[in-house]
Amino acid sequence: MQPLVSFLPYIQIGLAVLLCAAILLQRSAAGMGGAFGDNFSAGFHTRRGFERVLFHTTIILGILFTLTALFALLFK
């Protein structure tokens, strides 16, 4: 258990960087058009292809980061 706890900060840093990149790569419907009320239904669309993979990857990275944070809290 001790070797895993010693690598945990590095794992968390890697997950944090990947999570930030995944969030920043996602398309946002809150652009200038959304600010003025144009294209109101732009936020409600079906994700396809890379957008869907990126969405699911972001969720998985968020869950992994949360689990590593809880693991660090419990075993330090």
DSSP 19-56: HHHHHHHS--S-SHHHHTT-SGGGGS----THHHHHHH
Torsion 12-62-53-21 (CA) sign: negative
pLDDT at 56: 96
Give the separation between CA 7 and CA 75, rounded to whole angstroms.
13
Both ends of the chain: CA-CA distance in Å?
11
pLDDT at 13: 97
| pLDDT tens-digit series, residues 24-73 | 999 765 554 555 555 555 556 788 899 999 999 999 999 999 999 999 99
Tokens of 32: 């200038």
| H or E element in which residue 75 lies | helix 50-75
